[in-house]
Amino acid sequence: ALDLDGTLAIDNNQVMPDTRRALQSLHEEGVEVVIATGRRYRTTRFVIDNLGFDVYAVCNGGALVKTPDEQTHHESPYSTSQVNDLIDLARTRNLSLFGQRDSHVRGGADFIIDNPLAWAPVIQNYFNMNIDWCEKGDMRDRDPEFLVTGTMGTEAELNGLVHEIHQTFPDTYNSIVIPDADPNSWYCEITLARVTKWHGLSQLAHLFEITAKNICAVGDQVNDLPMLEAVKHGVAMGNGVDALHEHATLICGNHDEDGILDVIDYIRRHNESVST
């Protein structure tokens, strides 16, 4: 199970040639190669297409699992009431929430931006940049379809929203607030507390009739930690954060230096030792 950004993917959604060939060979030997990413499925496909063969993909941080033929195997959407609760909190703070959805199955846009309020310039810019995959509309009272929600604003605005969410709905949501590409704004992402990359991978473990002992998971950031802790073979990229290194079975090379080749060698050595 491979994270994308900082793990498998390099610039422009490319995969290093030696890594691509080695993964194709491993896949042909019977090892299931799976993507596990926070990306939407549309942008995940950019890397899969460059990988050269179709794979299962855990997307939206674990909320969506897609098959190699682009069907939806599993999704964990918010309930309508959960979306309404978050919309209410965001609107009272003049923040415009947006919700990611499985457009491949449902049709329409990858995400909807709530629009009863006047948008801040950063939201308008985000809409303009993603106009081919985005719609504006009232997010309240829709059928359960939103997998991840988020918004943009100042650091203080987003921290205030997150504080209120966790005070009002303890143990219901996870959230992060990080700098946006725009130096004048920050990004807040909100997920259901039970939804992690391991949550998505566990759906595939059930499908493949294997256990966590049969899975090797590779990542570089804190959001990869749940899957590294759950599986027997947790690998941190050399360029990964210290928190991941502390919990890893193996620390491989950097993502832009064919570090995945170390992981493939590890898997083959392990499989040989088991078979003998």
Query: Could you report the per-residue pLDDT of 56-97, keeping only the tens digit for each?
Result: 999 999 999 999 999 999 999 999 999 999 999 999 999 999
Q: How confident is the model over 200-214, as a mean pLDDT?
A: 97
The two tokens of residue 47 are 């890397």
According to DSSP, the β-strands at 111-114 and 98-100 are antiparallel
* Nearest C-alpha neighbor of 146 from the set 94, 95, 200, 80: 80
Q: Is pLDDT larger for residue 100 or for residue 273?
A: 100
Alpha-helix runs per DSSP H in the chain: 17-28, 41-51, 80-92, 103-106, 121-129, 155-168, 197-208, 225-230, 242-245, 260-275
**What is the C-alpha separation between 276 and 271, in angstroms, rounded?**
9
Is 80 exceeded by the pLDDT of residue 276?
A: no
Packed helices 17-28 and 260-275: angle between N→C axes, nearest 10 degrees = 20
pLDDT at 50 over 80: yes
- pLDDT above 90 (res 28): yes
How does pLDDT run across 106-124, given as a tens digit for each residue? 889 999 999 998 999 999 9
What are the distances in angstroms from CA 152 to CA 98, 122, 139, 156, 194? Answer: 9, 7, 16, 11, 23
**CA dist., res. 3 & res. 248, Å (int):** 14
What per-residue confidence (pLDDT) applies to 180?
85
pLDDT over threshold 80, residue 275: no
Confidence of residue 182 (pLDDT cuts 50, 70, 90): confident
Taking the complete model, does pTM exceed 0.85, yes or no?
yes
The residue to which tokens 């954060």 are assigned: 241
184 confidence band (pLDDT: 50, 70, 90) = confident
Specify whether the CB–CB gap between 70 and 94 falls below 8 A: no
Mean pLDDT of 8-23: 97
Q: Is 84 exposed, middle or buried (0-12, 13-18, 19+ CB in 10 A)?
A: middle
| Confidence grade of residue 132 (pLDDT, cut at 50, 70, 90) | very high
Mean pLDDT of the chain: 95
Query: Which run of H or of E encompasses 64?
Result: strand 64-66
Q: What is the pLDDT of residue 17?
A: 97
> What does each C-alpha distance from 188 to 37, 82, 95, 127, 185 come to in angstroms?
17, 17, 11, 16, 10
Task: Report the pLDDT value the prediction gives residue 183, as an integer from 0 to 100.
Answer: 79
* Torsion of the alpha carbons at 98, 51, 104 and 196, rounded to the nearest 10: -50
On whether the CB atoms of residues 119 and 127 are closer than 8 A, the answer is: yes
Q: Which residues make beta-bridge pairs with 57?
A: 35, 66
pLDDT of residue 57: 98
